[in-house]
Amino acid sequence: MKELANRFATFMRTRKLRVIACLGYALFLATNASVTWGGFFPFLPVEFQTPAVLNTFFMAQSFAFALTYFASAVGAYRLPKMARLFFVRMNALPYAFGWICLIGALYAEDIAIALVFIGGALVGIGTAGFFMVWQRLFAAKKATEGNLDLIVATLLAPVIYFALYLVPLAVTSLLIPFVFMPLFSLCSVLTSREVDLDQPMFLDRPSNHPQVYRTAIKDYWRSALSVGSLAFSCGIVRSLALDTPEVGNVVNAVSMAALFVCSGALLIVWRSKPLQVNLSLLSRLFFPISITAFVLMPILKAPYASVLAAGLYALYGCSLAIVMMQCAQASRDRSINPVFIYGFVAGIVYLFHDLGFIGGKIVGGTSVFGLDPYFSTTILSLYMLAIMFFLEQGGFRTAFSPGHVHVDRIELFATAASTHRSRPSATKASSALSIDAEPQAADYSDKIAKQCALLRAHFKLSERETEIVEALARGSTAPAMAKTFGVSENTVKTHMKRIYSKLGIHRKGELIDLVNSFDPKALA
């Protein structure tokens, strides 16, 4: 009875902490949207928001934001022990002082631009630091819990954002650094106390196996570039929105409303059926839509540009949540430092956002060959999106790589070649076609592969856990799996412990028996 009571108490405490984490992160996102979303301050006087103020703040904030991510990735690699610490105070101080500088610029006209620049840089550093704190919190949770909490918090953020409009304008700007920031800081502190710092991702020493980190960079740079192309588009339309603060206000409101709809739809679909999200594939699907949207901009101009900006920022917000999920999964599956992988991916994303903004300001603010600014911006957008899409597909290296399979290739055999020499080539061609073709849902190489798929569906194993199960069933060892999957042996052993826990077994022999005999119909 006492054990049952302890379990119930633990469950309730965990439940409360998850609610606190969701509310804290939602409040952080809503507060962040009031200062860095769309290039407009909805809770500061409009007359203060001149193009000089907005451009200065954004340039300082955005570049400090991106550089903080890259610096954190390097620091996490060089000083892995730092990943065990949650620097809430170190993030809160620059965040609060940045806002104080911004508020001070309202009253000190002589040094307003200098205060805005300093405030922007400090807010950028503090915001990036807080994002990494939340990333570590969500990565440290079980996959399902962490992803669910992240989506729910993203859904709640627009609700809190619009609730801020109920507060008088003069009060809201003071509430952010002195009330809201301490609140979400407290939430992060309370939830971080329950984090298991003995997980491999926090104990990992990158210098012991640098090849694992090189593999991670190789595997995730395309995903970063995929979201970076969307970020680049957002940066371009943001450069247009900054010229008119009233437009920025509309962009903020509509994008937050669209974010609520997108995150709600994602939550509903995911709760009804399992999802597998591929950022590179989503980028390919988004590409024809994005270039069509930019082609319409010089025709429809200002009103349409506002709608386009709002839609892009809503997709951008959802994509950033998916990036956090992907980086958290990478930390769990590969036992790599969560700060490193998130700093690397997010740094690329936000850097492209900054480049889009700079390009948009340069092209949109000048008359190139006498063209309309909207037309010049469209040309730049289409060109850069096409280049980034080309790089996502592997660039020239993939196009001319002898090892890359092209299913649409035409083979022309030399007329003097003998029949017996041409046959292997034909066989190779058909083989390449079957490998590159889309496999059917019911196609399995053998019984073990099919049984592992059934186990994955029933016990909710991750993709990496399923690979480990199949490798174990085929007799592979921990060192061999570590080499195959590009991870450390410690990571493989951690996966095995989780798998045994999920399957309710204790030994490799029991796993092999379960793979051979598992039948979900018998359980029903």
* Residues 502 and 372 occupy one common structural domain: no
Beta carbons within 10 angstroms of residue 105's beta carbon:
23
Give the per-residue pLDDT at 9: 59
Tokens 């042996």 locate to 489
Do 105 and 165 lie in one domain? The reply is yes
CA distance 251 to 248: 5
Q: How far apart are CA 223 and CA 365, in angstroms?
A: 31
Structural domain contains residue 463: yes
Looking only at Cα atoms, what is the longest distance across the chain? 88
The CATH number linked to 263 is: 1.20.1250.20
Asked whether residue 404 is domain-assigned, the answer is no
In a domain, 430, yes or no: no
Q: How far apart are CA 233 and CA 286, in angstroms?
A: 12
Q: How far apart are CA 330 and CA 235, in angstroms?
A: 27
User: Of 396, 420, 435, which marks where a domain is finished?
Assistant: 396
Q: How many other C-beta atoms are found inside a 10 Å radius of the C-beta of residue 288?
A: 9
Q: What is the DSSP letter of 80?
A: G
**C-alpha separations of 248 from 52, 184, 343, 350 in Å:** 15, 26, 28, 19
Alpha carbon distance 356, 352 (integer Å): 6
Q: pLDDT truncated to tens, each residue of the chain (524 aa)? A: 656 555 545 556 678 889 999 999 999 998 888 765 555 677 777 778 787 888 888 889 888 999 999 999 998 888 877 666 667 778 889 999 998 998 899 888 889 999 999 999 999 999 999 999 999 899 988 888 899 999 999 999 999 989 888 887 767 778 888 899 999 999 998 888 888 888 888 888 887 788 888 888 988 988 899 899 888 888 887 777 656 656 667 777 877 888 898 889 888 988 887 777 778 877 888 888 888 888 888 888 777 777 787 788 888 888 888 899 999 988 888 888 888 999 999 999 999 988 888 888 777 665 555 667 778 778 888 888 888 888 777 777 666 666 555 555 565 545 554 444 444 433 333 333 232 333 344 556 678 888 888 888 888 888 888 889 988 888 888 888 888 887 778 888 888 888 888 888 888 888 888 888 888 776 65
95 lies in some domain = yes
Beta strands in 410-492 (DSSP E): none
Query: Exposed (0-12), middle (13-18) or buried (19+): which is 417, by Cβ within 10 Å?
Result: exposed
Query: Do 97 and 160 have their domain in common?
Result: yes
**Does the residue 105 lie in any domain?**
yes
For residues 384 and 488, state if they share a domain. no
Tell me, yes or no, whether 391 and 477 share the same domain: no
Domain contains 437: no
Residue 192 CB partners (closer than 8 Å, separation 6+):
86, 88, 133, 136, 137
Nearest to 518 by CA among 463, 464, 473, 467: 473
- Report d(CA 440, CA 463) in Å as an integer: 18
Q: Containing domain of residue 345, as a range? A: 2-396
List the one residue out of 234, 237, 243, 248 whose CA is nearest residue 42: 248
In angstroms, how far is CA 146 from the centroid of its own chain? 13
Which pLDDT score is estimated for 426? 35
Residue whose pair of structure tokens reads 């550089």 in the numeric block: 67
C-alpha distance from residue 177 to each of 53, 115, 185, 223, 342 (Å) = 20, 16, 11, 34, 26
65 contacts 350 by C-beta, under 8 angstroms: yes
- Quick check: is 436 in a domain? no
List the structure tokens of 250: 């509309």
Query: Based on the structure, what is the number of domains in the chain?
Result: 2
Taking alpha carbons only, the member of 163, 169, 518, 462 closest to residue 329 is 462
Residues 364 and 466 in one domain: no
DSSP one-letter string for 265-318: HHHHHHHHS-----HHHHHHHHHHHHHHHHHHHHHHHHHHHHHHHHHHHHHHHH
Contacts of 63 (CB under 8 A, 6+ apart): 124, 354
Residues 345/321, Cβ–Cβ less than 8 Å: no
Rounded to whole angstroms, the Cα distance separating 82 from 76 reads: 7
Same-domain check for residues 124 and 185: yes
Residue 442 lies in a domain: no
Q: Is the pTM of this model over 0.75?
A: yes
| Domain co-membership, 387 together with 451 | no
Co-location of 119 and 259 in the same domain: yes
For residue 504, the domain's CATH number is 1.10.10.10
Asked if 314 and 180 sit in the same domain, the reply is yes
97-103: list long-range contacts, CB under 8 Å, 24+ apart: 97/122, 98/122, 98/123, 98/124, 98/125, 98/126, 99/35, 99/123, 99/173, 99/176, 99/177, 99/181, 100/177, 102/35, 102/41, 102/44, 102/57, 102/173, 103/173, 103/174, 103/177
* Residues 28 and 147 reside in one and the same domain: yes
CA distances to 174, 220, 284, 389 from 392, in Å: 43, 11, 9, 5
